C-alpha cells in the first residue's frame, strides 16, 4: 500500500520505510520554533530538566513577534529572558526589532523551511509551512522543550484527507476564501488530527501567498497539518529564498485517505466567517447590512504582498469610513519595504489607514487594535473566537483582503464590487 506526502515525510524522519495512520513514531526534527509568548514556558522547562544545551543552535528559532515592540513590563521581561537565552546558547536565528516579522511569514521568507522538512513550533499556526511541502505542526511549550534538547519528538501518524480543487477562480477570490469554504463545509473539528492535503488544477493556479494562507488555517478545521505537493512555483520560491537542500515528496496513487473532497473553485465566493467560529461561513454578499468599527489587514494569514496589493487596489482613490478604523500590518520588514516601494503606503495613507510595523498584536487581542465592548471588526486574521480581539462582547468577522478593504471604505461588511 502506498503512502501520502505526510506519511512519507514522517517515515523519512523516523528512519522507517513505511508508516501508517495511528502508528507512534519517534522522529528527528529539522526546526524548533517559539515566540515571545510560548518560549518563556519552554525555557522554564529547559531549566527544570537541567538541560545544558539545545540540540543544534542553527535549528532553534526564536521570534519576538506577538507583543513587540514591548507593550508592557511583562512582555519586556519575557523578551529579555529569551534574548539572554539566545545569546547564551548562541542561537543563530533570533529575531527581534528591525529584523523581526510575524513568524509564519518570516521563516519561509528567510529560507529556514523547505520541502521535506519536519518542523515543530509552539504556536498552532506552525502548519503554515505545509505550503512548501513540509510537515509542520504546532506543539505545546513543554513538547517543544524536548525537541529543543533532543532534536526529536514523538508523533502519532495522522490520517490524511484530500481536497481536490478544480475549476477557475473568480475575481478577488483567494486561498482565504477557499479555506473558509472548506472549514464551513467540514466544521472546526472536521479534520481532527488529520493531515489536510490540497491538490488539483485550481491549487496549481494559486500563488504561494494563497497557499500559505490555506495551510495556515488547517488548524481551524482541527487538522494536524496542512500540506501541498511542492510544484514548480514552490521550487521557484525555495530557490529564491533558501540555500537549504530540499526533498519533494508526492502521494502515491494508491495512498489511503480518510476522505476525499472534490471542490469546484469556480463556485467559491468571497467568504466571511461570522462570530464566533471560523466555520460560521457566509457569502460577503449576504452580510452587507452589518456595520463595523475596525478593519485589520495583516497577520500570519493575510499580511503578505499579494494581500496588501489587493487591499491597495480597492482602497486607491477612496477613504476609510469616518466611523471605521483600518489598520494595515505588513507581515515582515521585507514585505513592508516592498509595499512601500510599490506605492501601497501612499494609497493606505491617502485612504487614512494606520500602518503598523510587523506584529501579531491585534490578532490575539494583544495590542495595536483592541476592540471595546460591542465593537465589530472585519479581520484578515485566522480566528474569531469570543474575546479573540478584545472585549468578550466584541465580534470578529474573518475575510480576505478584498472584502476587508471594501468594508473599511463602506463602514460595513461589503463586497469589492460595491466600490
Q: State whether the Cα torsion 384-389-390-395 is positive or negative.
A: negative
In Å, what is the CA distance from 417 to each residue of 29, 172, 270, 296, 325?
Answer: 46, 10, 11, 20, 21
Dist. CA 109–CA 306, nearest whole Å? 14
3-state secondary structure of 76: helix
Placement of cell 529579555 in the chain: 80
Identify the pLDDT of residue 209: 98
How many whole angstroms separate alpha carbon 42 and alpha carbon 360? 20
What pLDDT is recorded for position 289? Answer: 87
How does strand 294-297 pair with strand 281-283? unpaired
First to last CA, the chain: 53
Q: Which residues share a beta bridge with 26?
A: 154
CA distance 230 to 91: 29
Phi-psi region of 71 (alpha: psi -120 to 50; beta: other; left: phi over 0): alpha
| Residue 200 CA from chain centroid, whole number | 21
What does the pLDDT read at residue 337?
A: 98
Strand order in the sheet with 259-264: 225-228, 194-199, 159-166, 259-264
Same fold, 5-16+23-244+258-263 and 271-418: yes
Radius of gyration for the alpha carbons in the chain, expressed in angstroms and rounded: 20
- With contact defined as beta carbons under 8 Å apart, do 58 and 31 qualify? no
CATH of domain 271-418: 3.30.499.10
The residue ranges of every structural domain in the chain are 5-16+23-244+258-263, 271-418
- State whether residue 325 is helix, strand or coil: strand
* φ/ψ (deg, to 5) at 249: -110, 145
Query: Could you tell me whether strands 271-273 and 325-328 are parallel, antiparallel, or unpaired per DSSP bridges?
Result: unpaired
Percentage, residues of the chain above pLDDT 90? 99
CA 102 – CA 401 distance, rounded (Å): 17
Query: pTM, whole model, 2 decimals?
Result: 0.97
How far is the C-alpha of 181 from the C-alpha of 322, rounded, in Å?
Answer: 31
What CATH code is assigned to 5-16+23-244+258-263? 3.30.499.10
pLDDT, residue 68, reads: 85
- Do residues 135 and 271 make contact, with C-beta atoms less than 8 angstroms apart? no
pLDDT along the chain (419 residues), means of 10: 96 98 98 97 95 97 95 96 98 97 98 98 98 98 97 98 98 98 98 98 98 98 98 98 98 98 98 98 94 98 98 98 98 98 98 97 96 98 97 98 98 97
Burial of residue 1 (CB within 10 Å: 0-12, 13-18, 19+) is exposed
Amino acid at each position: 500500500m502506498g503512502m501520502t506526502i505526510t506519511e512519507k515525510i514522517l517515515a523519512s524522519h523516523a528512519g522507517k520505510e513505511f508508516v501508517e495512520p495511528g502508528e507512534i513514531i519517534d522522529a528527528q526534527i529539522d526546526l524548533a520554533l517559539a515566540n515571545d509568548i510560548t518560549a518563556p514556558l519552554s525555557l522554564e522547562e529547559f531549566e527544570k530538566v537541567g538541560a545544558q544545551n539545545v540540540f543544534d543552535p542553527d535549528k532553534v528559532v526564536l521570534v519576538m513577534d506577538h507583543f513587540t515592540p514591548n507593550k508592557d513590563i511583562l512582555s519586556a521581561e519575557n523578551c529579555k529572558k529569551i534574548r539572554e537565552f539566545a545569546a547564551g546558547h548562541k542561537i543563530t536565528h533570533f529575531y527581534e526589532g528591525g529584523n523581526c516579522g510575524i513568524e509564519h511569514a518570516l521563516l519561509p521568507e528567510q529560507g529556514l523551511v523547505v520541502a521535506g522538512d519536519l518542523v515543530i513550533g509552539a504556536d498552532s499556526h506552525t502548519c503554515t509551512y505545509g505550503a512548501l511541502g513540509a510537515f509542520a505542526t504546532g506543539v505545546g511549550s513543554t513538547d517543544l522543550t524536548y525537541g529543543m534538547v533532543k532534536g526529536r519528538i514523538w508523533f502519532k501518524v495522522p490520517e490524511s484527507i484530500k481536497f481536490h480543487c478544480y475549476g477557475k477562480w473568480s475575481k478577488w477570490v483567494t486561498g482565504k476564501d477557499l479555506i473558509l469554504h472548506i472549514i464551513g463545509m467540514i466544521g472546526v473539528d472536521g479534520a481532527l488530527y488529520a493531515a489536510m492535503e490540497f491538490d488539483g488544477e485550481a491549487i496549481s493556479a494559486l500563488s504561494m501567498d494563497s497557499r500559505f494562507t490555506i495551510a495556515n488555517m488547517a488548524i481551524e478545521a482541527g487538522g494536524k497539518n496542512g500540506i501541498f505537493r511542492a510544484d514548480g512555483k514552490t521550487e521557484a520560491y525555495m530557490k529564491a529564498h533558501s540555500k537549504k537542500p530540499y526533498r519533494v515528496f508526492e502521494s502515491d496513487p494508491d495512498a489511503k485517505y480518510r476522505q476525499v473532497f472534490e471542490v469546484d473553485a469556480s463556485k467559491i465566493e468571497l467568504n466571511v466567517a461570522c462570530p464566533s467560529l471560523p466555520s460560521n461561513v457566509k457569502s460577503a454578499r449576504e452580510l452587507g447590512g452589518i456595520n463595523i468599527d475596525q478593519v485589520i489587514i495583516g497577520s500570519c494569514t493575510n499580511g503578505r504582498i499579494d494581500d496588501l496589493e489587493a487591499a491597495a487596489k480597492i482602497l486607491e482613490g477612496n477613504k476609510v469610513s469616518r466611523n471605521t478604523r483600518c489598520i494595515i500590518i505588513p507581515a515582515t520588514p521585507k514585505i513592508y519595504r516592498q509595499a512601500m516601494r510599490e506605492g501601497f503606503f501612499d494609497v493606505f495613507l491617502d485612504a487614512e489607514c494606520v500602518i503598523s510595523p510587523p506584529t501579531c498584536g491585534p490578532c490575539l487581542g494583544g495590542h495595536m487594535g483592541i476592540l471595546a465592548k460591542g465593537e465589530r471588526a472585519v479581520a484578515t486574521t485566522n480566528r474569531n473566537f469570543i474575546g479573540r480581539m478584545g472585549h468578550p462582547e466584541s465580534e470578529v468577522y474573518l475575510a480576505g483582503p478584498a472584502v476587508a478593504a471594501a468594508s473599511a471604505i463602506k463602514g460595513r461588511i461589503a463586497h469589492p464590487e460595491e466600490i
